[in-house]
Amino acid sequence: MLDIAQSLGAGFATALTPLYLYYALLGTILGTITGVLPGLGPLGAMAILLGFTLTMDPTGAMILFAGIYYGAMYGGSTTSILLNIPGEAASVVTCIDGYKMTQKGRGGAALTIAAVGSFIAGTISILGLIVVALFLSDIALRFGPPEFLAIGVAGLILLMRLTGGPLLQSLIMILVGMALATVGVDFLTGLERFTYGIAELGQGLEFLPVAMGVFGIAEVLTTVQDRQVPRKVGRVSMKELLPTRTEWKRSVPPMLRGSGLGFLLGLVPGPSPVIATFTSYIVEKKISRRPEEFGHGAIEAVAGPEAANNAAVGGAYVPLFALGIPFTPAMAVVLGALMLHGLTPGPNLIRAQADLFWAVIASMYIGNLMLLLLNLPLVNVFVSILRIPRHILLPTIVLICLVGVYSVNASPLDLLLLAIFGFVGYVLREVGFQPAPLILAMVIGPMIETSLRQSLSITGGNLADIVFRPICLTMYAIASLAFVVPLALRWFPRARPAAPGVPDRAADDV
């Protein structure tokens, strides 16, 4: 415990240097702006800025991205509460009761509760991140290739069940992502794969243009065709930001419950902040003494979900730092940033790059405090960003993407890939496909391939020795249950005999 306190103290000493404070402040401001702008989200912002992180050191890049992630969670709640416009997916639930509170003249109080809940959740999730990441990293040091293979496969299977889209679509996206990960020179044989004579593809498809195209350019193309008329942006006075004593009393327990729930769900592959907010809302409504108020301006319905989505961010960093595996699309971009700096996340990172790990942990707390101190007084400034005309905002985003991609390798091929995957991402959205599994599979794919080949080499091709190891078997069992149980629940109602006088739907279907 003393070592943790000393390491955390050293982390704060590093994070409080002027340069890292600047990165934390820049990240929280950019994140809040990202959250306010509908559709872009933290994933799009991080993908757009990925190339620019090469001008920073790895610690600065991680601090910037952490600030963007936390800031976007809070910025999305601002427009959800004041305008009924969710800035990003995790803020959809906040619209339900947050906007009702605004209509009742309590929008300022809802903003304050959301900000304080986010700060409390961020603090709790950071403590959880420290404890769980260190514990998992100690265990992971004893993992071999079969264990990492099991974690990667199980993670992708769980992701298929939790993306919210049809199972077949998620499977297709994962297979396409893994196929893209095979482009380049085979590390074992030295042979080129799927390069089609293009020398620049020998090193594989660059993650940067793919991610920026699928999430940055595609978002711009989607926004261009949105004809929705912007809502009138009002103002919130400082006096309106003060909740009543009753509102505080009703908000604190949901904040604590949402913090714990959000952190635990952040450990699960998939869009954890979104899942956490919906789960928190359902839990608060179930245990509330006033369930009839939900949907009509219940303060608990703002406090719980807002705490849950911020806590899920801290939980999402655990598998990245401890195992080197991203369980969310945003963490895949963070992993890409570390790899651009020549770092490989995992249990060895926490030991070999302890300064980076503890500085990022400390900066998360500092960033949360900055959000609390800056966002409430400046809420009117951030909301006014919605007044920026699209014909100025969208070309600016495209220009940032072009400069960011070209600045890394000065390669025209990267610009071509940016355009291609931007169009691909747009088409995928239009036909109802979620592109996030593609990016995650592209990142995790090389690890799965490497672990599989190493495992086969170690065991002499014996699959039983790969699967029937305690940790591997546990991971495959969990993934199998997540895959089979929902299908069984769908089938069992059809298998039950129909009640007298009630037509058998299964027979009708036949």
Q: Which helix (H) or strand (E) holds 456?
A: helix 436-459
Strand stretches in 316-394, DSSP E:
none
**Comparing 469 with 37, which gets the higher pLDDT?**
469
Instruction: Report the alpha-carbon distance of residue 126 to residue 111 in Å, rounded.
Output: 22
What's residue 233's pLDDT?
Answer: 55
pLDDT at 257: 92
The single-letter code of the amino acid at 96 is I
Number of domains into which the chain is organized: 1
Instruction: Evaluate whether residue 94 is within a structural domain.
Output: yes
Residue 342 predicted with pLDDT over 70: yes
Has residue 196 been placed in a domain? Answer: yes
Strand pairing class (184-185; 192-193): antiparallel
Helix (H, G, I), strand (E, B) or coil at 439: helix
* pLDDT > 70? residue 74: yes
- Quick check: 393 and 385 in contact, CB under 8 A? no
Q: Which residue has the higher pLDDT, 109 or 75?
A: 109
pLDDT at 232: 57
pLDDT given at position 500: 45
- To 5 degrees, how large is the angle CA 110–CA 112–CA 117? 95
Are 59 and 102 within 8 A, CB to CB?
no
pLDDT of amino acid 510: 32
**Structural domain contains residue 269:** yes
pLDDT band at 420 (very low <50, low <70, confident <90, very high): very high
User: In this predicted structure, what is the pLDDT of residue 1?
Assistant: 56
Cβ atoms of 183 and 205 closer than 8 Å:
yes
Predicted confidence band of residue 329 (pLDDT cuts 50, 70, 90)? confident
What does pTM read for this prediction?
A: 0.73
Note whether residue 504 is domain-resident: no
pLDDT at 360 over 80: yes
185 phi, psi to nearest 5 deg: -85, 130
The whole-angstrom separation of Cα 157 and Cα 163 is: 10
Q: Span 390-411, mean pLDDT?
A: 78
What mean pLDDT value characterizes the chain?
Answer: 79
Instruction: State the pLDDT at residue 504.
Output: 43
Q: What is the percent of the chain where pLDDT is above 90?
A: 4
Residue 362 within any structural domain of the chain: yes
CB distance 238 to 246 below 8 Å = no
Give the HSE-up count for residue 161: Cα atoms under 13 Å, Cβ half-sphere. Answer: 17
Task: Classify residue 501: in a domain, yes or no.
Answer: no
Task: Tell whether 510 is covered by a domain.
Answer: no
- Interatomic CA distance for residues 169 and 435, integer angstroms: 10
Positive or negative, the CA dihedral 48, 51, 55, 60 is positive
Angle at CA of residue 97, ends 95 and 99, nearest 5°: 55
pLDDT in tens, 421-453: 989 989 988 888 878 788 778 877 888 888 888
* pLDDT tier for residue 158 given thresholds of 50, 70 and 90: confident
Segment 221-257, tens digit of pLDDT: 887 776 655 555 556 666 767 788 888 888 899 999 9
Domain-located, residue 352 = yes
In this prediction, residue 164 carries a pLDDT of 55
User: Residue 495 above 50 pLDDT?
Assistant: no
**Alpha carbon distances (Å) from 366 to 15, 134, 182:** 8, 21, 40
- Residue-wise pLDDT tens digits, 170-223: 888 889 988 998 888 887 777 888 888 787 788 788 777 887 788 778 878 887
| Residue type at position 67 | G
Residue-range definition of the domain harbouring residue 27: 2-492
pLDDT digits (tens, 9 = 90+) for 279-320: 888 888 888 888 888 888 888 888 888 888 888 888 888 888
Chain position carrying tokens 């100690």: 138
* Res 161: pLDDT: 65
pLDDT surpassing 50 at residue 28:
yes
